């Protein structure tokens, strides 16, 4: 018996792609909405640009959706433009679904809820560990626009909702703009090819402070649990693995996985975007030598996003008490999440 009809918005991304696979395996009928059609087995592709209101209405007109899982965003040149574009995307989607008796909508945002937008990263004064009850950070933030649009539509249409706030998501995806795990695997592979030491690109604070991350499957499990547990409805939840670590140890362990010399952490950050600006040719050589499936390094690595995460000048730890109090106790060792991803990337011939 199928559990429901799920619309996964952003089905080709790291969050949406892993969620769509999980829901399909768990007994849902899954429609995967994206700008380019998803090719996932068992997921029914739906294509539309959410910025196009009429195209969105047309794409969704005949679909028997019961649950919506919103896992997408679009990057613009300023946060004001991010607010405008991302708010319009969600508004267009929810308006197109207005008369379909949607039961529940789940929204994925993240820890910029507490840290501030890319433009004012780290400007907030929210204490760690971050709690869901913390006030919003002053300034433009498209996460807040998405929440406000969701809350207004829920009041209008009568559906329940959840907001999920993962930290950086570790999981399998290709061509994703926020993919630290694959980015570090590509960086490590280039270090091995060139003989350069595996050097942490971020700040001393990130090197030494405690932090946490989110495995894509933990996020998928929490989203299904919250959407199908009435007592958890209409709540925001931090979504992290449940363990904490320091990069100074994790970096050494990742280096050992790839059999690399690990350098001392530099006094000042050495951003990957600068280090890897001429990496396209090197990666092409690696791809040819090892018969890899993707010779374009820019389709695998998101240097800028990993730099933003690893270059923070403040501690970043999320409180998971609330999700446990509400009954979600699934956890994942972050080191294992990295190693399992690296192993799959090798199996899929995406890294040597």
Q: Which of 22, 70, 143, 144 is catalytic?
A: 143
- Per the CB < 8 A criterion, the answer to whether 25 and 62 are in contact is no
Active site residue 143: yes
Q: What element of type H or E holds 127? A: none
Reading the block at residue 77, the tokens are 């040149």
CB atoms within 10 A of CB 100: 18
Active site residue 3: no
CA distance readout (Å), 217 to 172, 207, 228? 10, 26, 17
User: Among the residues of 195-333, which ranges form H helices?
Assistant: 204-208, 216-227, 247-257, 272-275, 279-290, 303-310, 321-325
What whole-number distance in Å separates Cα of residue 179 and Cα of residue 124?
Answer: 24
Maximal CA-CA distance, the chain:
59
| Residues facing 262 on adjacent strands | 198
- Per the CB < 8 A criterion, the answer to whether 349 and 293 are in contact is yes
Reading the block at residue 293, the tokens are 């499936």
Q: Which residues are catalytic?
A: 112, 143
């Amino acid at each position: 018996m199928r559990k429901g009809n799920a619309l996964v918005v952003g089905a080709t991304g790291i969050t949406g792609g892993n969620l769509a696979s999980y829901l399909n395996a768990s007994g849902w009928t899954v429609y995967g909405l994206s700008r380019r059609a998803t090719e996932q087995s068992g997921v029914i592709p739906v294509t539309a640009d959410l910025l196009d209101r009429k195209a969105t209405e047309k794409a969704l007109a005949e679909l028997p959706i019961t649950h919506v899982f919103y896992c997408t965003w679009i990057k613009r040149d300023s946060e004001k433009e991010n607010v405008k574009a991302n708010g319009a995307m969600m508004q267009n989607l929810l308006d197109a679904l207005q008369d379909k008796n949607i039961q529940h909508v789940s929204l994925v945002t993240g820890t910029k809820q507490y840290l501030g937008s890319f433009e004012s990263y780290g400007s907030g004064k929210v204490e760690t560990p971050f709690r869901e009850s913390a006030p919003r950070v002053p300034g433009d933030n498209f996460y807040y626009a998405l929440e406000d649009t969701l809350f207004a539509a829920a009041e209008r249409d009568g559906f329940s909702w959840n907001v999920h706030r993962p930290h950086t998501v570790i999981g399998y995806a290709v061509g994703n703009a926020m993919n630290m795990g694959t980015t570090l695997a590509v960086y490590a592979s280039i270090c091995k090819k060139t003989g350069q030491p595996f050097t942490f690109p971020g700040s001393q604070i990130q090197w030494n402070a405690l932090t946490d991350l989110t495995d894509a499957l933990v996020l998928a499990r929490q989203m299904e649990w919250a959407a199908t547990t009435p007592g958890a409805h209409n709540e925001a939840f931090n979504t992290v693995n449940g363990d904490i670590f320091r990069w100074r140890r994790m970096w050494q362990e990742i280096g050992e996985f790839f059999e690399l010399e690990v350098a001392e952490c530099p006094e000042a950050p050495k951003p990957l975007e600068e280090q890897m600006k001429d990496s396209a040719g090197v990666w092409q050589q690696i791809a040819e030598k090892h018969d890899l499936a993707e010779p374009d390094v820019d389709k695998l690595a998101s240097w800028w996003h990993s730099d933003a995460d690893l270059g923070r000048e403040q501690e970043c730890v999320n409180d998971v008490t609330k999700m446990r109090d509400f009954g979600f106790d699934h956890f994942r060792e972050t080191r294992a999440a990295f190693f399992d991803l690296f192993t799959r990337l090798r199996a899929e011939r995406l890294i040597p």
